[in-house]
């Protein structure tokens, strides 16, 4: 056999395996509105950058009719490539091959690329489209999942881990995405649940569709399992690329800087925020008024919208923003918003991304529902996350900073590096109305005109406490600034903090209020 014929033979073999589950299965995949695993990888990675490994891996299962059955690539494609020239490791489950089910060799391929990603310190992207544990392979499939979960945990906080749900992700399989940093879902395509509709019906007698139980919207809006929601697979890939452009390759690196840009002209911060604390506004507009090019890449946009988290750039460098959203529930902190913010803060801290906090909130949300669902435990997460974060931490108090909310939103007391307040800031134990009603209850009740007395006491309280100057007099705020100075002051604070060195006491690990 000549070299040429060897090469031709190789090409033929590759072509055969690359067909995955064959024309019929591919046709079914297309009918479901889905791309194939290979098309997905090629659409996501830079052109001609994909390098595949383990193409010729075969399963060795014998039971339940598996002997002699060919499953090309054992239902998963693994490899390396680049996105915006940055290296990534990737795997994509191929639903056309035995429903992308995970058997022993399938799992070994995934864990091989995970080990690679961790060793080489590059991001890992996993595209999930699978019927879960391969039933015919029994405990070997379960073992495979265990090996994946263990590696997800090892890699957590070391390399970025991204999960893309582009099909079913059922049973214990959902726990790999849950252990990763960012989960992407697509309308009508993504499905995640521990037990499907038929089990729900047989155990609980409840009728529910797959979409209602664990569709993309449910995870983006209700459960908070998904961080990004897209209407099409291509939109989802664009979102992943944008995310990759903001984050560093590993915890040993900083995100690569971009060319600095000014915010768009005409976006003036001082025109956005009404001085009256009762009038809401969109905090996103404030963020866009200070970021490079007025660009802000929001994370978990549809979940707990009373807090905003996401990435922007300041002078070309990636910054993580955490901001109360006065437009939703007055920007209050509750269970979901605390979980959302705490997780994002920990992400930024793990990956050397400075955090800028924009504050305007009336405190934690009161109520039996919140108390009984554990607002104490969940609310503590944000305190923990800010306190342990050692990256540069900058706070701007825009308007309200009441009670626990003042402390929780990266106050000086949790070791903020720079705290600025606008002259509209109100820093107090609670809002003037509530405070006056409690502190001056007796005077108000006994007054000839109680309403007049109430208003007088509210004004007195406002004058004394609901302003930034008492906190500034204590040095809890470093400077009261004009709104138009906000970008410049943050930029300078970031520049000064560039070589920040801070650490936590030596410990194996803390015990956060999970
Ligand atoms: C083996 C599987 C499979 C599985 C699907 N297939 N899931 N083979 N093990 N888990 C095969 C089917 O037999 C079929 O093969 C092909 O994949 C396509 O499946 P269809 O059922 O025809 O596709 P569809 O109608 O689109 O339904 C998709 C599905 C359904 C909803 C995912 O296949 C399904 O319910 N599968 C089982 C899901 C499940 O219960 N998995 C185990 C979860 S427990 P042919 O040869 O006919 O084309 C789990 C434990 C993990 O994962 C524990 C970790 C700790």
What rounded mean pLDDT belongs to the chain?
95
Using the atom order of ligand 1, give the atom closest to the CA of residue 32: 26
263: in domain: no
- pLDDT at residue 53 in the model: 98
Residue nearest to atom 32 of ligand 1 (CA): 131
Nearest Cα residue to 423 out of 493, 474, 472: 472
Residue 420's SS3 state is strand
8 Å CB contact between 111 and 146: no
Residue nearest to atom 24 of ligand 1 (CA): 99
What integer pLDDT is reported at residue 156 of this predicted model?
A: 98
Residue 72: name the closest of 9, 14, 141, 20 by CA.
20
Closest to 145 (Cα-Cα) out of 121, 174, 122, 123: 174
Please tell me the residue having the least CA distance from ligand 1 atom 18: 99
- 142 CA distance to ligand 1 middle (Å): 14
pLDDT confidence band for 463 (50 / 70 / 90): confident
| pLDDT tens-digit readout, 145-160 | 999 999 999 999 999 9
CA of 195 to the centre of ligand 1 (A): 12
* pLDDT band of 268, cuts 50, 70, 90: confident
Q: Are residues 196 and 59 in the same domain?
A: yes
What total of structural domains would you count in the chain? 3
Ligand 1 center to residue 131 CA distance, Å?
Answer: 4
Within-domain flag for 11: no
Q: Indicate which atom in ligand 1 lies nearest the CA of residue 198.
A: 35
168 in the same domain as 144: yes
Residue nearest to atom 9 of ligand 1 (CA): 134
For the chain, what percent of residues have pLDDT higher than 70?
100
The verdict on 391 and 440 lying in the same domain is no
Residues 344 and 481 in one domain: yes
Span 484-492, average pLDDT:
97
Nearest Cα residue to atom 23 of ligand 1 = 99
- Atom number, ligand 1, closest to the C-alpha of residue 21: 48
Q: Residue of the nearest CA to atom 3 in ligand 1?
A: 131
Q: State the closest ligand 1 atom to the C-alpha of 133, by its place in the atom list counted from 1.
A: 52
Centroid of ligand 1 to alpha carbon of 227 (angstroms): 26
Same domain, 343 and 452: no
> What residue's CA is closest to ligand 1, atom 53?
172
Ligand 1 nearest atom to the CA of residue 135, by list position: 9
pLDDT for position 313: 98
Q: Can you tell me which atom of ligand 1 is nearest the CA of 25?
A: 48
pLDDT band at 48 (very low <50, low <70, confident <90, very high): very high
| Residue 383 shares a structural domain with residue 449 | no
Would you put residue 308 in left (φ > 0), alpha (ψ -120 to 50) or beta? beta
Q: Which residues pair with 311 in a beta bridge?
A: 297, 320
Q: How confident is the model at residue 464 (pLDDT cuts 50, 70, 90)?
A: confident
**Domain containing residue 457:** 431-465
Same domain for 56 and 93, yes or no, is yes
Give ligand 1 pocket residues (Cβ under 6 A).
Answer: 98-99, 101, 131-135, 142, 145, 168, 170-173, 196
Considering only CA atoms, which residue is closest to atom 38 of ligand 1?
131
Residues 377 and 482 in one domain: yes
Numbers of helices and strands, H then E, in the chain: 20, 16
- Looking at 214, 246, 278, the residue that finishes a domain is 246
* Residues 405-413, mean pLDDT to the nearest whole number: 97
What's the rounded mean pLDDT across residues 399-419? 97
Whole-number Å distance, alpha carbon 135 to ligand 1 midpoint, is 8
Confidence at residue 267, expressed as pLDDT on a 0 to 100 scale: 73
Q: For residue 101, how far is its CA from the centre of ligand 1 (angstroms)? A: 6
| Ligand 1 pocket, mutate which of 131, 170, 198 (most atoms under 8 A from CB) | 131
284-289-295-296 Cα dihedral, nearest 10 degrees: -30
Whose alpha carbon is nearest atom 41 of ligand 1?
Answer: 132
Atom of ligand 1 nearest to the CA of 167: 32
Give a yes or no: residue 14 inside a domain.
Answer: no
Same domain, 65 and 177: yes
Return all residues near 324 (Cβ < 8 A) that are at least 6 apart.
283, 306, 307, 308, 331, 332, 333, 358, 359, 360, 361, 405, 409
CA dist 69 and 195 (Å) reads 28
Q: 219 C-alpha vs ligand 1 centroid, how far in Å?
A: 21
Under 8 Å between Cβ of 276 and 286: no
Same domain, 112 and 216: yes
Pocket test for ligand 1, best of 99, 110, 136, 149 (most atoms within 8 A of CB): 99
Could you report the per-residue pLDDT of 167-201, keeping only the tens digit for each? 999 888 899 999 999 999 999 999 999 988 998 99
Nearest CA to ligand 1 atom 26: 99
Ligand 1 atom nearest to 100, measured from its CA: 17
- Residue 13 belongs to some domain of the structure: no
Per-residue confidence band for 465, with pLDDT thresholds at 50, 70 and 90? confident
Give me ligand 1 centre to Cα 188, in Å. 18
Cα–ligand 1 centroid distance for 6 (angstroms): 37
Q: What is the pLDDT of residues 340-395, one digit of tens each?
A: 999 999 999 999 999 999 999 999 999 999 999 999 999 999 999 999 999 999 99
Q: Is the pLDDT of residue 1 over 80?
A: no
Predicted confidence at residue 269, as pLDDT, reads 86
Mean pLDDT of all residues in 81-108? 97
**Pair (472, 453) in one structural domain:** no
Q: Which residue has the higher pLDDT, 93 or 277?
A: 93
Residue 236: half-sphere exposure toward Cβ, Cα within 13 Å: 30
Distance, CA 192 to ligand 1 centroid (Å)? 13
What's the whole-number mean pLDDT along residues 65-78? 95
Q: What is the CATH number of the domain that holds 118?
A: 3.90.226.10
Measured CA to CA, the distance from residue 384 to residue 388 in angstroms comes to 6
Closest residue CA from atom 21 of ligand 1: 99
Supply the pLDDT for residue 430.
85
Look at residue 443 and tell me if it is in a domain: yes
**pTM: predicted TM-score of the whole model, two decimal places:** 0.95
Is there a single domain that holds both residue 86 and residue 168?
A: yes
pLDDT band for position 241 (50/70/90)?
Answer: very high
Q: What is the pLDDT of residues 429-448, one digit of tens each?
A: 888 888 888 988 998 999 89
Protein residue closest via CA to atom 45 of ligand 1: 98
**Domain-embedded: residue 22:** no
> Residue of the nearest CA to atom 35 in ligand 1?
131
Both tokens assigned to 512: 């956060």
Comparing 185-199, 400-414, 452-466, the range with the smallest average pLDDT is 452-466
Cα–Cα distances in angstroms (integers) from residue 179 to residues 80, 226, 337, 475, 514, in the given order: 21, 12, 19, 40, 13
Ligand 1 centre and the CA of 199: distance in Å? 14
Q: Please indicate, yes or no, if residue 44 is contained in any of the structural domains.
A: yes
The answer as to whether 410 is a domain residue is yes
Give yes or no for residue 276 having a pLDDT over 90.
no
């Amino acid at each position: 056999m000549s070299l040429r014929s060897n090469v031709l033979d190789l090409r033929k073999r590759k072509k055969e395996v690359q067909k995955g589950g064959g024309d019929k299965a591919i046709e079914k995949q297309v009918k479901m509105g889905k791309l194939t695993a290979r098309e997905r990888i090629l659409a996501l990675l830079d052109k001609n950058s994909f390098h595949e490994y383990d193409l010729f891996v075969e399963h060795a299962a014998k039971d339940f009719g598996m002997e002699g059955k060919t499953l090309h690539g054992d239902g998963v494609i693994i490899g390396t490539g680049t996105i915006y020239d940055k290296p990534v490791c990737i795997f994509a489950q191929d639903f056309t091959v035995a429903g992308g089910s995970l058997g022993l060799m399938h799992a070994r391929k995934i864990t091989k690329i995970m080990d690679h990603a961790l060793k080489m310190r590059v991001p890992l992207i996993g595209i999930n489209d699978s019927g879960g544990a391969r039933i015919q392979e029994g405990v070997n499939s379960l073992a495979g999942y265990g090996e994946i979960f263990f590696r997800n945990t090892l890699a957590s906080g070391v390399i970025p881990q991204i999960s893309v749900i582009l099909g079913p992700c059922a049973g214990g399989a959902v726990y790999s995405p849950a252990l990763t940093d960012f989960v992407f879902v697509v309308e009508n395509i993504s499905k995640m649940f521990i037990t499907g509709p038929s089990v729900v019906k047989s155990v609980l007698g409840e009728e529910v569709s797959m979409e209602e139980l664990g569709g993309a919207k449910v995870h983006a809006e209700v459960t908070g399992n998904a961080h990004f929601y897209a209407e099409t697979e291509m939109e989802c890939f664009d979102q992943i690329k944008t995310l990759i452009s903001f984050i560093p390759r590993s915890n040993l690196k900083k995100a690569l800087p971009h060319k600095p840009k000014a915010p768009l002209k005409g976006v003036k911060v001082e025109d956005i925020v009404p001085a009256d604390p009762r009038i809401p506004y969109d905090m996103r507009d404030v963020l866009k008024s200070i970021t490079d090019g007025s660009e802000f890449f929001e994370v978990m946009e549809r979940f707990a919208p009373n807090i905003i988290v996401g990435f922007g750039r300041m002078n070309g460098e990636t910054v993580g923003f955490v901001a109360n959203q006065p437009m939703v529930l007055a920007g209050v902190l509750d269970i979901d918003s605390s979980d959302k913010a705490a997780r994002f803060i920990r992400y930024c801290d793990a990956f050397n991304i400075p955090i800028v906090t924009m504050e305007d909130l009336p405190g934690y949300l009161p109520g039996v529902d919140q108390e009984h669902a554990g607002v104490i435990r969940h609310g503590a997460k944000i305190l923990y996350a800010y306190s342990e974060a050692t990256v540069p931490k900058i706070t701007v108090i825009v308007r309200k900073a009441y009670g626990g909310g003042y402390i929780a939103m990266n106050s000086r007391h949790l070791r903020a590096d720079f705290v600025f307040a606008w002259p509209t800031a109100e820093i107090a134990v609670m809002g003037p109305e509530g405070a006056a009603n409690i502190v001056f209850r007796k005077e108000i009740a006994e007054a000839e005109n109680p309403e007049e007395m109430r208003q007088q006491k509210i004004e007195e309280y406002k004058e004394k406490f609901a302003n930034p100057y008492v906190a500034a007099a204590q040095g809890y705020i470093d400077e009261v600034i004009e709104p138009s100075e906000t970008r410049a002051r943050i930029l300078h604070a970031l520049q000064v903090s560039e070589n920040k060195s801070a650490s936590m006491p030596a410990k194996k690990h803390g015990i956060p209020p999970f």
